[in-house]
């Protein structure tokens, strides 16, 4: 059963909304505001080199101002906004990374990551996996890979639908923390993945059935030319969603227990990730699962207790 954070004050019980407007910052608010403040620094330091730096800095200020207005001045949109705003805010942070990683780092770690994979396996995993490659398997795994964001959001939606606001808020904090932590990894170890570095070593291209090319092209457009391999965000966030699914129901957890290893395998089979990326993503998720409750407690500054459903 899932460990659930709930308030000892009675105002954050799962399924119960506060009796009066809450004008204090939640843990996820503090996390995102801190990240926006820190991530604005590159735009100031590399002002003339980062594309759209002035506009992006204005976006940071406007986004922070909107959040503070919604918190401090409750209005008809506040209820929905406060629960769901992390989704577009965190997505915007992802898009920004593609702009300033090439400027800040000026190098990539693909060769080093590929060498680590080769030393461990004695082969390049994406090349080795060609021996089991088939259009049916490729199509299936691309669907699994593409369902990543819906799989992460489904847990949040079900908690929201059940009216379990405290559990929803903790899950939103955990997921936002996971995404933002992975962005830091992209900055420290920028890499694009074996799909680009090892293209000349692959003997046959990936081919699906009907949806493969469309799904792959759509993801490429959404993700831009990004250095987003290390750690594997798909691995990290799916593990966090798998863990969070325990809070929803006993029936959902086994489904996520099956989906999680499938998407982890898909990240390598589809040539998006090195296996060292996958290991890093799983390790980061494990660290956050253990550390997030204490972080949430500290940032919430409220009397919290661990409960069980």
The string of pLDDT tens digits covering residues 4-19 is 444 333 334 444 444 4
Lowest-confidence region among 120-129, 155-164, 293-302: 293-302
pLDDT of residue 303: 40
pLDDT on residue 224:
56
Q: Is 218 within 8 Å of 251 (Cβ atoms)? A: no
For the entire predicted model, the pTM comes to 0.86
Give the pLDDT confidence score for residue 261 in this predicted structure.
96
Q: What is the DSSP letter of 43?
A: H
Lowest mean pLDDT among 121-135, 199-213, 275-289: 199-213
Quickly state the pLDDT bin for 302 (edges 50, 70, 90).
low
In the numeric block, the tokens 């898909």 are attached to 266
Residue 104 clears pLDDT 90, i.e. is over it: no
Q: Of the given ranges (15-19, 143-147, 193-197), which has the lowest mean pLDDT?
A: 15-19
Query: How many CA atoms lie within 13 Å of 212's alpha carbon, on the beta-carbon side?
Result: 16
What mean pLDDT value characterizes the chain?
85
Residue ranges with strand state E in 183-227: none
Number of domains in the chain: 1
pLDDT of residue 184 exceeding 60, the answer is yes
Distance from C-alpha of 177 to C-alpha of 152, rounded to nearest angstrom: 13
The pLDDT assigned to 84 comes to 93
Q: How far apart are CA 239 and CA 257, in angstroms?
A: 9
Q: What percent of the chain has pLDDT above 90?
A: 53
Element (H, E) at 14: none
* Helical packing angle, 135-146 and 212-223, nearest 10°: 40
pLDDT of residue 305: 42
280: left (phi over 0), alpha (psi -120 to 50) or beta: alpha
* Positive/negative CA dihedral, 108, 109, 110, 111: positive
Per-residue pLDDT at 12: 45
Task: Say whether the peptide bond before residue 231 is cis (omega within 30 degrees of 0).
Answer: yes
Q: What backbone phi and psi angles, to 5 degrees, belong to 248? A: -85, -60
pLDDT digits (tens, 9 = 90+) for 247-274: 898 889 999 999 999 999 999 999 999 9
pLDDT at site 307: 38
In terms of residue numbers, what domain contains 272?
A: 3-308
Residues 6+ apart with CB under 8 A from 185: 230, 231, 280, 284
Rounded CA separation 58/293 (Å): 33
Lowest average pLDDT, out of 129-133, 179-183, 209-213, goes to: 209-213
The CA–CA distances, whole Å, from 243 to 195, 226, 246, 270, 289 equal 29, 27, 6, 25, 8
**pLDDT the model gives residue 225:** 60
**pLDDT band at 210, cuts 50/70/90?**
confident
**Paired tokens of 152:** 């992460």
């Amino acid at each position: 059963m899932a460990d659930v954070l709930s308030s000892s004050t009675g105002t954050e019980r799962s399924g119960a909304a506060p009796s009066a407007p809450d004008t204090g910052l939640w843990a996820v608010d503090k996390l995102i505001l801190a990240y926006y403040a820190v991530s604005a620094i590159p735009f100031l330091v590399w002002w003339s080199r980062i594309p759209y730096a002035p506009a992006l800095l204005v976006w940071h200020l406007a986004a922070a101002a909107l959040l503070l207005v919604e918190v401090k001045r409750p209005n008809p949109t506040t209820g929905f906004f406060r629960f769901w705003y992390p989704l577009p805010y965190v997505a915007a942070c992802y898009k920004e990374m593609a702009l300033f990683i090439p400027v800040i780092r000026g190098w990539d770690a693909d060769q080093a990551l590929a060498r680590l994979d080769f030393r461990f396996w004695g082969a390049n995993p994406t090349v080795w996996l060609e021996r089991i490659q088939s259009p049916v398997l490729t199509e299936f795994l691309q669907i699994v890979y593409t369902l990543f964001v819906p799989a992460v959001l489904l847990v949040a939606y079900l908690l929201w639908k059940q009216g379990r606001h405290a559990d929803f808020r903790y899950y939103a904090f955990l997921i936002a923390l996971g995404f933002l932590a992975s962005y830091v990894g992209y900055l420290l170890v920028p890499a694009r993945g074996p799909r680009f570095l090892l293209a000349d070593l692959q003997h046959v291209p990936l081919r699906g059935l009907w949806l493969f090319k469309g799904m792959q092209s759509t993801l490429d457009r959404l993700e831009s030319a990004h250095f987003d391999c290390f750690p594997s965000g798909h691995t990290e966030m799916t593990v966090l969603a798998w863990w969070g699914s325990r809070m929803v129901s006993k029936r959902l957890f086994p489904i996520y227990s099956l989906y999680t290893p499938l998407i982890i395998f898909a990240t390598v089979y589809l040539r998006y990730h090195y296996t060292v990326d996958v290991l890093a993503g799983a390790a980061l998720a494990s660290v956050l699962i253990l550390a997030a409750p204490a972080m949430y407690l500290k940032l919430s500054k409220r009397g919290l207790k661990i409960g069980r459903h």
